[in-house]
Amino acid sequence: MTLTPDTDLLARARTWLAEDPDPDTRAELGHLIAAAEACGEEDAARAWSELAERFAGTLQFGTAGLRGEMGAGPMRMNRDVVIRAAAGLARYVRRDSPDGLVVIGYDARHKSYDFARDTAAVAVGAGLRAVLLPGPLPTPVLAFAVRHLGAAAGVMVTASHNPPRDNGYKVYLGGDFGGSQIVPPHDAGIAAEIDAIGGLDEVPRALDGWRVLTEAEILDPYLARAVTVVDPHTPRDLAVVYTPLHGVGRDTLLAAFERAGFPAPSLVTVQADPDPDFPTVGFPNPEEPGAMDLAFQTGAALGPDVIIANDPDADRLAVAVPAPETEAGWRMLRGDEVGALLAAHLVSKHAEGTFATTIVSSSLLSRIAEAAGLGYAETLTGFKWISRADGLRYGYEEALGYCVDPDAVRDKDGVSAALSIAELAATLKQNGRTLGDLLDDLAVTHGLHATDQLSVRVHDLTVIAKAMARLREQPPRSLAGLRVDSAEDLEQGSADLPPTDGLRYRLSGEGISAARVVVRPSGTEPKLKCYLEVVVPVGSGDALTAARESAERLLALVKRDLAAAAGI
């Protein structure tokens, strides 16, 4: 086969190669260019395809910052892309803070430290002040540092729970923005500054001038604050198994438990050390099938009261409870269940303020807040929105994210949330009760709020676009025999919500109090995500089993009908 070289593509690749500061990605790109130029060789077509994909555009900076597969080229995460992002951020920060402080954190993924160091060099080169966290640490420590140090901005280099090949770049703004993640129009403002960057030789990069914080300066204050979420006089008798899923949560969480007076959790030893290759899990996300298997095996051997897990950057928390009737012997609680438990716990501790969650999370939080006479807010998906709720006291999202101390960390925090769950579980244990018992109480009081998710991972993003278009053009009239009373296109926005790519259906029918479906593309992964909820009234504890069976049956049917309607 004779290939016709794309001379423009080759020229762009060579230009990128000439200014790439990383020997690893230079070697990678040089190999691709050489393979493409060898037009008669068997792998030439693959090399041209790979080059075309990597140079098809630019990795876009948005409200999630940057996140993507690592490698050479503008469509990958690499030092070139990060330096440009840092330069654009520095220009944006200097508009209001010409000599402002930028605090930079990083996890233990491949290249995370390099990306953090490059960000510091660019910030100092732009006339800003910069400090690095004292090593690979959880994202909530960085979020805390932005507020604690009065920084103008914060950067966390992490891909959170994405696959090992990915990395990311998350931005926080300080000052009037309270140390929250960026939202529009700031994402667009930073992106415009990034787009204005020419060659890398236009970006001043200092050789030194930034500082590495000590643990005493930032980790100790974070831990001292984290332990304040629990009452020193509450019970501490609790056996816990813990896995950080090869991430950076272990040392911080263990230190927090020790300071708070809880027994040291037993570790899932093969997942305890930070490892950027995540050798025991395909996707280092506690929600993914199989990710918790080793934790369940450890739990079966040790018999703890609860199992907890953090994702790799420890901003999320997973909780599992004993379930002898299941094959694994353990049941993962859904994020909505943990969210409701923490809310009920805070109500019992006389919390005041606003409880907030997202449009894709369970409506149970609104019932708990209303019954306690507290404010309630519903936001778009993501803590960048939850953190901006007026008077926020507690926020959570169904994707295992919980904010129990917004005055300290204006983001989800898997460490302080773990302390709160431990306090609740220990208190219940002292009274001969469990987390499951409290969930039953909430169902009897407020109705059984059963949730589920239909999540479709794709390789071709057009599949998601076609599904959304199909649902917009032909919205379902019924799902699982339930009437679709309203079909709301969230792209239109409303008085309460900014526009977003999503659809929301409200349903009604026999045997339920309410039902809701939200369909949206994921903001961080190539997935179409559908969030389902049915609310089944429960007259008494004796009716719980029947209510659960009815809810499970309805959710399964809603999934089936929704998949058919979307063509997925």
Active site residues: 160
Structure tokens at 332: 């993962």
Q: Which of 342, 337, 354 has its CA nearest to residue 391?
A: 354
Three-state DSSP at 170 gives strand
φ, ψ for residue 24, nearest 5 deg: -70, -50
CA 123 to CA 324: how far, in whole Å? 54
Contact of 547 with 449, CB cutoff 8 Å: no
Pairing of strands 66-69, 478-479: unpaired
Which residues lie below 8 Å from residue 223, measured CB to CB, with a gap of 6+?
252, 255, 256, 259
CA 70 to CA 165: how far, in whole Å? 6
CA 110 to CA 76: how far, in whole Å? 14
Q: Which of 505, 270, 343, 315 has its CA nearest to residue 412?
A: 315
Chain-centroid distance, C-alpha 66: 13
Residue 459 is given by DSSP the state: S
Strand partners, 514: 535
- Could you write out the DSSP letters of every residue in 32-74? HHHHHH-TTSTTHHHHHHHHHHHTSS-PPPBTTBEEEEBSSST
Q: Which of 87, 73, 85, 156 has its CA nearest to residue 116?
A: 156
Contact of 359 with 369, CB cutoff 8 Å: no
Structure tokens at 84: 């440009």
Strands (DSSP E) contained in 389-469 are: 392-397, 401-403, 448-457
Structure tokens at 457: 């991972």
Amino acid at 350: H
* Whole-number CA gyration radius for the chain: 24
